[in-house]
Amino acid sequence: MQVFLARNPDEVGSADSTPIEPFDLNHFFGEDGKIYGYTNLKINVWISAISFHAYAEISFQETSDGGKGITDLKPVLQNIFGENLVEKDEFLEAFSKECQCISDVVTNGNSIKRDASGEDDLSAEIVRVELQGAAAYLYSRLVSLVLLLVEGSTPIDITEHGWEMLLIVKKAELESSASKFQLLGFAAVHHFYYYPESTRLRISQILVLPPYQGEGHGRLLLEAINSIAESENMYDVTIEDPSDYLQYVRSSIDCLRLLTFEPIKPALGAMVLSLEQTNLSKRTRSSIMVPPSDLAETVRQKLKINKKQFLRCWEILIYLHLDAENLKCIDNFRACIYDRTKGELLGGASGTNGKRLVQVPTSFDEDTSFAVFWTKEGGDEDNQTVQQQPEDLATQEEQLNELVDNQMEEIAEVAKNVASRGKDKLAA
């Protein structure tokens, strides 16, 4: 199955169509992700970049029931594209009939002003709209692209109060174009009530269309959302299940913001100095690089970066300020990442943090039935967690080190990006 994005009728069925690489189509096709009963089957799907209708062209040599039946393709395609899936004539007509689909939303939205940098596309504009009326109709057309391109995505409930959408668009390059605007990408965000009288801004979905990826449009959407949160004094900004790449972009943006945030500099300098002057290779207790609690609150209040995200950026900023050639310093940093990860997974330096695992009488499978309870530190140590064998501990240590190595690579990757984009800020 191949999927293409067509910007005009002439691209439909031609080599000029932009191919889309779906994240994973298998889960749409039954439990085993397979299609049965066809010889030389080809499925080509075109999605209009104007109306976001879809048209599927299916061809095959023959069908035969080989014992597992013949897969009915129509309900599978409708499960992906819904009512957007139309016949070819209607699909082609929609390029002209529904050419105002994007324009109707843009003209009714509010343009967000931004400070453009040298790397930005100056022709791109970000428009903010409530997710209702024409905007809700446009979103319903975009759902199929979200399902195809975003791992584990599901449509949002646009009938729920508090949804809005940010569109990044630019005017059509050709005067002959049926649509005044090209849609480059969008983000769906939700306003959550936060007790007693505040609002959290949660990013539920963010997508840049394949032809425009790698041009910084996703970064512009995230920066616009941060700007909204600050200007409207929201509690903080969160992201629902971000992909690895989205988290990479988000952390890069937030680290760049934090580099020029004066309140962070004394504590950051002190932590870097501590790692340079100590030796954690023979530590007798866990060492973690936690910032002062009041600093995390200041960052949340001023920059709207939530605590979990700030702690992630804090480690990246520390690494960024370390001398990469000072092996003792880097080893100290890794030791802190190791202790923090071990604490998160196993409950701290003790390995249990008061958590107990006990077998319980049950009418179910005894091997999979147990209870976990927690006691305050210093409680009765009898009947402690089920003892692990040496080979289990060795495997656990190996897996833990592998996880730490992966985190070190992720931190280094973001730090490298921040260093290349924020040389002037680091110099300051």
Spatial CB neighbours of 303, under 8 Å, sequence gap ≥ 6? 226, 230, 254, 257, 258, 261
DSSP category for residue 351: S
- Residue 325 annotated to the active site: no
Is-contact 235 301, C-beta < 8 A?
A: no
Q: Cα–Cα distance between 343 and 271 in angstroms, integer?
A: 20
Both tokens of residue 27? 């889960």
CA 147 to chain centre: 14
Q: Cα–Cα distance between 388 and 79 in angstroms, integer?
A: 47
Residues 99-241: name the CATH superfamily: Gcn5-related N-acetyltransferase (GNAT) (3.40.630.30)
Q: Is the dihedral of CA 65, 66, 68, 70 positive or negative?
A: negative
Is-contact 70 37, C-beta < 8 A?
A: yes
Q: How many CB atoms lie within 10 A of CB 390?
A: 7
Spatial CB neighbours of 427, under 8 Å, sequence gap ≥ 6? none
Domain extent listing, the chain: 2-97, 99-241, 258-378+389-422
Check residue 30 and give its pLDDT: 78
Half-sphere exposure of 288 (CA within 13 A, CB side): 14
Do β-strands 2-6 and 163-171 pair in parallel, antiparallel, or remain unpaired? unpaired
The predicted-structure confidence for 272-288, as pLDDT tens digits, reads as follows: 999 999 888 878 788 88
Q: Which residue, among 134, 204, 197, 103, has the nearest Cα to 162 in the 3D structure?
A: 204
The predicted-structure confidence for 109-131, as pLDDT tens digits, reads as follows: 999 977 666 566 678 999 999 99
- Give the ranges where 321-370 is alpha helix by DSSP (H): 327-346
Question: Which of these CATH numbers, 3.90.360.10, 3.40.50.150, 3.40.190.10, 3.40.630.90, describes 2-97?
Answer: 3.90.360.10
Torsion region of 216: left, alpha or beta (phi above 0 gives left; psi -120 to 50 gives alpha): left
Is residue 250 predicted with pLDDT exceeding 70? yes
Q: Which residue, among 152, 144, 151, 14, has the nearest Cα to 79 in the 3D structure?
A: 144
The predicted-structure confidence for 2-46, as pLDDT tens digits, reads as follows: 999 998 899 998 877 888 988 788 888 877 888 999 999 999 999
Q: Which of 93, 230, 240, 410 is catalytic?
A: 240
Q: How many CB atoms lie within 10 A of CB 236?
A: 22
What is this structure's pTM? 0.85
What are the contacts of 189-192 at 24+ separation with CB within 8 A? 189/163, 189/164, 189/165, 189/225, 190/156, 190/160, 190/162, 190/163, 190/164, 191/162, 191/163, 191/164, 191/234, 192/162
Is residue 257 predicted with pLDDT exceeding 60? yes
The predicted-structure confidence for 359-399, as pLDDT tens digits, reads as follows: 666 766 655 666 666 655 544 444 444 555 666 778 888 99
Q: What is Dmax (Cα atoms) for the chain?
A: 80
